[in-house]
DNA sequence: GTTGACAGGTGTACGGCGTACACCTAGCGT
DNA sequence: ACGCTAGGTGTACGCCGTACACCTGTCAAC
């Protein structure tokens, strides 16, 4: 069913993907879809996960910089294969397992490359903007120790599972909270992250300017 | 009316802004709105322009880096003031005068700072992602010499008007086409732009890594 | 002072949307 | 033989954007 939805979106665009239209495509009555997804939002989440699943896995043998580059470009390729994906990803606020998994593995690449958890945190933010646009809250803390209602034991189990599944994200979150575990879940300082990435770019711009950088335009078809 | 729409969106979110709801808010029948905008898309365009209008004007006395930084942060503030604005901006593909004006003035700041038209082009792309997310086509060439139908004279007049209004954008477009004016309108090499910005970031990351960068977290409340 | 254009508000209607709710049916473990 | 359950059905409600025909007040030109 998700496959059908993705194909339909590829064919007619995301706006034309309605529960009714998708049902028709599947030769089924609209309400039948609700036996598989709770609502349309969940359908979109699923579709996004399909696209994210197309991102090639990390190659741990690669140097961190090459590895990250390859990973991000692979993500870009996946998104470009489905023109509707960018908009869909940006409209989602949920952190599905696919999103968390991708983030965690990317964070792992940085860590193995010698980045501190702290620095990893910030560069992930800076990169986040590049990978899926302007989604500050994307990195906000998942409910590892935030919500109160569920029983303390369930809570523990959930946290443990999270720690096992996404060790790097947890590590980063802890680092971001300054080692103060109780503060985990308060979210990031978005303004800091924004300026961090902005200044990184501006400094890069300046370096290119002083060295008289110019694109290879004109000779051959450009770009190496 | 645009003011009312913006206020409504601020109050109840962009999804709840419907022609009907907005009309009700204005004490008017839904169809009355269509005397002022052609359709809902145009309403959203107008709302985005209102937000863009809140961006503070450039201060030409500032150093380019300080100036760009101030401008981008001002844009961010405007967008943050209207939580719906990010999504709305990203969903628009039109280049309204407000967007073009902002881009042109930003490009001018780079040019005055000693950037070549070529480099300005690329850094604008790199920054574009930061300002309003992942909108590759935002910088695609406006129809300065692209569409065929309108009479050659009208065409000329339009191009002249564009050149006067947005000189820097034009300059950049020409530079991007490699001085070959006939090629203007073919759009940018998005893959190149993407990798350009990505590598700029990765290089910046590496520099921070080797110098053992760490956020000021822990002392005081962080961030200067 | 009449007239006619025009800006802008009105009312009705259509087709599409997401989805709540009640119902049906086939297959299967007991 | 029986009840559970996964999954498909049909109807209905209240939203949405907007096409189309109509009305009303204002004001310039005659």
Mean pLDDT, chain B cut into blocks of 10 residues (224 residues total): 91 92 90 91 92 91 91 89 88 79 88 88 79 50 45 75 82 73 64 81 87 68 39
| Residue B223 half-sphere exposure toward CB, CA atoms < 13 A | 11
**What pLDDT is stored for residue B186 in this prediction?**
59
What architecture is domain B37-210? Answer: Orthogonal Bundle (1.10)
Positive or negative, the CA dihedral B213, B216, B222, B224 is: negative
CB contacts, 8 Å: A73 with chain B? 195, 198
Q: If you write DSSP's letter for every residue of chain A in order, what string do you get?
A: -HHHHHHHHHHH-GGG--HHHHHHHTTS-GGGGGGT-SSHHHHHHHHHHHHHHTSPPP-TTS-HHHHHHHHHHHHHHHHHHSTTHHHHHHH-----HHHHHHHHHHHHHHHHTT--HHHHHHHHHHHHHHHHSS-GGGGSPPSSS----S-HHHHHHHHHHHHHH-HHHHHHHHHHTTT-GGGTTS---HHHHHHHHHHHHHHHHHHHHHTT----TTSTTS--
**What pLDDT is stored for residue A57 in this prediction?**
92
Mutation pick from B65, B215, B218 vs chain A, by most beta carbons of A within 10 Å, is B215
d(CA A83, CA B128): 19
H-only helix segments in B133-189? 152-165, 167-176
- Those nucleotides of strand C lying less than 7 Å from any protein Cβ are 7-12, 16-22
Q: Is A200 at the interface with chain B, CB within 8 A?
A: yes
CA angle B209, A66, B192 (to 5 degrees): 105
Report the residue of chain B nearest A111, measured CA to CA: B209
Lowest mean pLDDT among A12-21, A36-45, A151-160, B93-102: A151-160
- Name A69's Cβ contacts closer than 8 Å, sequence gap at least 6: B198, B199, B202
d(CA A113, CA B203): 14
Lowest mean pLDDT among A76-85, A158-167, B146-155, B159-168: B146-155
CB contacts, 8 Å: A222 with chain B? 189, 192
Q: What percent of chain A has pLDDT over 90?
A: 25
**What pLDDT is stored for residue B143 in this prediction?**
45
Q: Is B198 at the interface with chain A, CB within 8 A?
A: yes
For chain A, the C-alpha Rg in angstroms (whole number) is: 20
- Using C1' positions and the CA of B19, the closest nucleotide is D17
H-only helix segments in chain B? 2-12, 19-25, 40-53, 64-81, 85-91, 97-112, 117-132, 152-165, 167-176, 190-210
- Cβ of residue B186 near strand D, that is under 7 Å? no
| Model confidence at A185: pLDDT above 50 | yes
**What pLDDT is stored for residue B117 in this prediction?**
87
Tokens 């969106």 -> residue: B9
Q: Which residue has the higher pLDDT, A183 or B68?
A: B68
CB B120 within 8 A of CB B135: no
Q: Report domain extents, chain B.
A: 37-210
Positive or negative, the CA dihedral A37, A157, A142, A163 is: negative
Burial of B37 (0-12, 13-18, 19+ CB in 10 A): middle
**What pLDDT is stored for residue A8 in this prediction?**
92
d(CA B158, CA B213): 51
d(CA A7, CA A21): 12
**What pLDDT is stored for residue B37 in this prediction?**
92
d(CA B117, CA A213): 11
Report the residue of chain B nearest A71, measured CA to CA: B198
CB A71 within 8 A of CB A140: no
CA angle B78, B82, B83 (to 5 degrees): 120
- Cβ of residue B196 near strand D, that is under 7 Å? no
- Cβ of residue A12 near strand D, that is under 7 Å? no
Lowest mean pLDDT among A6-10, A12-16, A19-23, A96-100: A96-100
| Model confidence at A149: pLDDT above 70 | no
- Mark which residues 117-146 of A lie under 8 Å from B by CB: 118-119, 122-123, 126-127, 129-130, 132-134
**What pLDDT is stored for residue B151 in this prediction?**
63
Tokens 């490359």 -> residue: A113
- Name B147's Cβ contacts closer than 8 Å, sequence gap at least 6: none
Burial of A78 (0-12, 13-18, 19+ CB in 10 A): middle
**What pLDDT is stored for residue A103 in this prediction?**
86
- Cβ of residue B31 near strand D, that is under 7 Å? yes
CB contacts, 8 Å: B189 with chain A? 222-223
CB contacts, 8 Å: A127 with chain B? 201
Q: Which residue has the higher pLDDT, B69 or A128?
A: B69
The stretch A98-113 carries a mean pLDDT of: 88
CB B169 within 8 A of CB B117: no
Q: How confident is the model at residue A183 (pLDDT cuts 50, 70, 90)?
A: low
The stretch A93-99 carries a mean pLDDT of: 79
CB B165 within 8 A of CB B100: yes
**What pLDDT is stored for residue B169 in this prediction?**
78
Q: How confident is the model at residue A18 (pLDDT cuts 50, 70, 90)?
A: very high
Burial A82-98 (b: 16+ CB within 10 A, else e): bebbbbbbbebeebeeb
């Amino acid at each position: 069913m998700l496959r059908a939805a993705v194909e339909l979106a590829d064919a007619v665009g995301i706006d034309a993907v309605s529960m009714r239209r998708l049902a028709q495509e599947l030769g089924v009555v609209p309400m039948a879809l609700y036996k598989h997804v709770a609502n349309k939002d969940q359908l979109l989440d699923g579709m996004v996960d399909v696209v994210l699943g197309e991102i090639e896995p990390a190659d741990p043998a690669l140097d961190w910089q090459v590895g990250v580059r390859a990973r991000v470009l692979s993500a870009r390729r996946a998104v470009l294969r489905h023109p509707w994906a960018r908009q869909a990803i940006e409209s989602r606020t949920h952190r599905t397992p696919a999103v968390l998994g991708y983030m965690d593995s990317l964070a792992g690449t940085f860590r193995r490359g010698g980045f501190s958890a702290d620095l990893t945190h910030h560069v992930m933010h800076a990169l986040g903007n590049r990978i899926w646009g302007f989604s500050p809250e994307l990195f906000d803390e998942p409910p590892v120790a935030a919500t109160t209602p569920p029983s303390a034991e369930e809570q523990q189990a959930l946290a443990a599972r999270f720690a096992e599944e996404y060790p790097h994200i947890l590590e980063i979150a802890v680092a971001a909270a300054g080692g103060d575990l109780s503060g985990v879940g308060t979210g990031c300082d978005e303004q800091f992250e924004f300026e961090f990435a902005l200044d990184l770019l501006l400094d890069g711009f300046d370096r290119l300017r002083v060295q008289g950088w110019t694109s290879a335009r004109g000779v051959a078809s450009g770009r190496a």
